Structure 1
Amino acid sequence: MVRGRVFRRLGLTNETVIKVYHGYGHASQLVLYGHVFRQSALPRRRYRQSVLNNTWALLRLFMVKPLPNVRLRTQWQGQVLETTADRDGFYKFEWQDNPPLEQGWHELKVELIGSRGQVRQTGTGSLYIPYATQYGFISDVDDTFLISHSANLRKRLYVLFTQNARSRRPFEGVVRHYQLLAQGNTTPDAPNPFFYVSSSEWNLYEYLLEFTRVQALPRGVFLLNVLKQVRELLKTGQSNHNGKFARIVRIVEGFPKQRFVLLGDSSQRDPYIYESIVRHFPGRIHAVYIRDVYQKSRPAVLEVLAKIEAAGVPVCFFRHSDEAILHSRKIGLISTEEAAKEIG
C-alpha cells in the first residue's frame, strides 16, 4: 500500500494495466492489439510547460514492466475471443466476421483472465471499420506532420525532453491538408481512413494520440514499433524500419478495394520504404508525398522518387504544406474549391 502511494506520487502505477490500442478491420480480418503491464505510467493530467515535468513525464513512458503470458478475452458481436500476451506483454486478437459490418468506431473491452476463469483486470479501447471510400491514407509521424528534427540528434532529444504532447508543434498547414484529405471524394459522415505508421515505440502511443487530438488531425489507427526501456530511450524512433514496411504491407493487403496515398519525409527511410511498397503493389498506390526536411539527403531522395514516378505514381516532394494541398487538388484528392480556399 505504501509502495503504491509512492508510485502514484511519481506518476507511476504498480497495478496491472491493460492498454488497448486502436484496432481496425474488415470482413476477412479484424485486429485488436495492446499491452499488459505490471508497471506503467499513469495518464498525464497536467501539461504545465516545465522542462523538469516534461522530462520526467517522458521518462515515465519508458519505465514499463510488461506482464507476459497472461490470458486475455474480448467479445465482438456475440463472439468470445481469447489470446495470450507474449513475453513483452503484447497481445493481438485476430478474427473474421460476416459482412456487412457496421462501419465507424466501436468500443471494445479486453479482460485479463485468471487461472480460475475470473476477470482480474479490464481495459477498453476502440476498433475502426473504415468506410468504403476510394482512398486510404498512410502517414509517417515524425517530421511528416510532427516537427521532430529526426536527422539532428541534439535537436531531436532537446524537443523530446523539453516539450510535451500539447506544446509540440505540427508543420504549418499540415493539419488542414490532412483534414482536406480525410474529406476528399467522400461525405463528412464517411471520412477516408488514416493509418499512422511510425518507427516510434508503443511507449509513445498516448503521447501521439494526445497530440493528434489536440491538433485536430484526422482520427486514425496507429501502428508503432516494439517497446523500449529507459536505457534505450536515446534510440527512440531510430530502429526497425523494416518493421515499418511490414506494417504498411498488412494495411494495403487488408483493404484490397482501396487505393492508398503514402505520406512521409526525407529525414530517414520513408522514400525507400515507399518505393518498395509501390513495386510490391502495382496499381494500388495513388500518390506519394515526401516532406523535404533534410538537405543532405536530397540528391538520393530525388533519385528514389524518380523511380516511383517512373512506375506511374504521382510524387510531391515539398517543403511547405500549401504545395502539397495544390498537388492534392491537381490529382483529384481534394476538390478545387476547397484547395483554393486554403491557399487563396
Structure 2
Amino acid sequence: MRSSVPFLKVYQSFASDHLTIVVGHVLRSPSRQRDRPTKNPFKNALEMYRRYQVKPLAGEKVFLKYGGETLEVITDRKGFFQFEWPTPSGVNTLEMTVALAAFPTESEYLKLEVKRPSEVVVSDIDDTILVSHSTSLARKLYLLLTKNHQSRRAFDGVKDFYDSLSESKAGLLFFYVSSSEWNLYDFLESFVADKQLPGGVFLLQDIKSGILDLFRSGGGSHSHKKSKIDTLMKVYPEAGFTLIGDSGQQDPDIYQAVAFSNPDRICKIYIRDVRKSRRSKVIQMASTLRKSGVDMVFFSE
C-alpha cells in the first residue's frame, strides 16, 4: 500500500567559505529501499522500475535550521528544493536540521564540513566511468534493467586514473555531474563506492516518474550540466577545475563553453572517445582549446 505521507530525501550537500548549498526532494513513493544486489535480472528490473515509481510533490514548504537561523524554501514542480546562503565566517563545520513543514517528524540532521579545495574535479558518469552504451538505446536499457551496482562494469583503468588524480594534489574535491536522473542517486552512489572510486557529491538531472521516463533515462537536454558547473565555480572561486567526460553526448560542447568563459580556471579537460562519428569534431575542439591555453586530452579505453 502506498503511503499518503510525503517523505524528505536530502542529498549529500556541500559548503565552502563563500556559500553553503543543501539540496533534496520531497516525494511520495511506494518504496524507499536502497539498491539490493542480486543476480536475478528480473529482480533487478523490478528494483529499477520501483525507482521510477515516485511522485514528486510540488509546493511543499521545507525548513532548514542552523544555529539560531531558520531558512525556508518551497519545492518546485519536480519536488526539488535547494537552500543556498553565505557561509558564516570562520567556521569549519555546519550542523543543521532539514524538516518538512507539514510533517515535522520527517526531518534529517546534517553535518557539513566546510571545504577549501585547491582543485575541483567534475566527472560525468555514463560512458565516462560507467559502461552504459548511451548511444545505443537497446544496449543501454538492457544494462539499466538487468544489472545492479555490483554487476555494472567500470571502464578499465578508471580506478587507477582517479586514484592518480587524488594522489597528485592535496585538497582535491570530486563532483559527479551527470544527466542521469535523481532517481538513480542511491544506485550511482553505491556503484562509485563498490568500484572504490573517490567519494564525491552527485549533481543529477531532474527526477522522473513513470515507466516511460525509465525508458528515456539519461536523455533530454544536457544544459543543466553547464549550470551546475557554473554554480560550483561560484561556490569555489579560488579553485581550479578538471573536467572529465565522454564524446557520446554533449560533454565536449559543454566543457568547451565552460573553458571559453573561464580559461584561467580550467586545469585540464579529459574526453573519452566513445563515438566514432564525433571523433573529428572533438579533435578540432581540442585544437581550438589549446590555442586558448586549455589542454583537452582525447583518449580511448
| TM-score between both structures, scaled by the size of structure 2 | 0.93
- Structure 2: stretches of 5+ with no match in the other structure: none
Does 1:110 pair with 2:98?
yes
Match of 1:57 among 24, 27, 47: 47
Deviation, structure 1 residue 92: 1.1
Q: Which has the larger radius of gyration?
A: 1
Q: What secondary structure is seen at the aligned counterpart in 2 of 1:57?
A: helix
Does 1:208 pair with 2:196?
no
- Number of aligned residues: 300
Does 1:43 pair with 2:33?
yes
Match of 2:275 among 278, 294, 297: 294
Counterpart in the other structure of 1:123: 108
Deviation, structure 1 residue 271: 0.6
Counterpart in the other structure of 1:313: 294
Does 1:138 pair with 2:138?
no
Match of 2:205 among 225, 241, 247: 225
Q: Of Structure 1 and Structure 2, which has the larger fraction of its residues in helix?
A: 1
Alpha-carbon distance in 1 for matches of 2:67, 2:195: 33
Q: In the alignment, is the contact (CA less than 8 A) between 2:41 and 2:145 conserved in 1?
A: yes
Alpha-carbon distance in 2 for matches of 1:287, 1:252: 15
Alpha-carbon distance in 2 for matches of 1:308, 1:293: 20
The alpha-carbon distance between structure 1 residues 45 and 227, as it changes in their structure 2 partners (threshold 3 A), is closer
Deviation, structure 1 residue 45: 5.9
Q: In the alignment, is the contact (CA less than 8 A) between 2:8 and 2:27 conserved in 1?
A: yes
Alpha-carbon distance in 2 for matches of 1:237, 1:127: 29
Match of 2:264 among 277, 283, 287: 283
- Structure 1: stretches of 5+ with no match in the other structure: 8-12, 321-344
Between 1 and 2, higher relative CO (CA 8 Å, sep ≥ 6) is seen in 2
Counterpart in the other structure of 2:224: 243
- The one-letter amino acid of 1:319's match is S
Match of 2:248 among 267, 275, 297: 267
The alpha-carbon distance between structure 1 residues 147 and 87, as it changes in their structure 2 partners (threshold 3 A), is same
| TM-score between both structures, scaled by the size of structure 1 | 0.82
Q: In the alignment, is the contact (CA less than 8 A) between 1:266 and 1:292 conserved in 2?
A: yes
Q: What secondary structure is seen at the aligned counterpart in 1 of 2:145?
A: helix
Counterpart in the other structure of 1:334: none
Q: In the alignment, is the contact (CA less than 8 A) between 1:55 and 1:162 conserved in 2?
A: yes
Alpha-carbon distance in 1 for matches of 2:215, 2:300: 27
Alpha-carbon distance in 1 for matches of 2:222, 2:244: 15
The 5 Å alignment of 1:136-175 reads: 136-175=120-159
The alpha-carbon distance between structure 1 residues 82 and 318, as it changes in their structure 2 partners (threshold 3 A), is same
Q: Note the alpha carbon deviations across 1:41-90, whole angstroms, 9 max, x for none.
A: 32136311111011111111111012221221222344322222123211
Alpha-carbon distance in 2 for matches of 1:284, 1:195: 16
Counterpart in the other structure of 2:285: 304
How high is the sequence identity, in percent, across the aligned residues? 35
Alpha-carbon distance in 1 for matches of 2:285, 2:216: 26
- The one-letter amino acid of 1:29's match is L
Deviation, structure 1 residue 110: 1.5
Alpha-carbon distance in 1 for matches of 2:119, 2:35: 36
Q: In the alignment, is the contact (CA less than 8 A) between 1:17 and 1:40 conserved in 2?
A: no
- The one-letter amino acid of 2:200's match is G
RMSD of equivalent CA atoms? 1.9
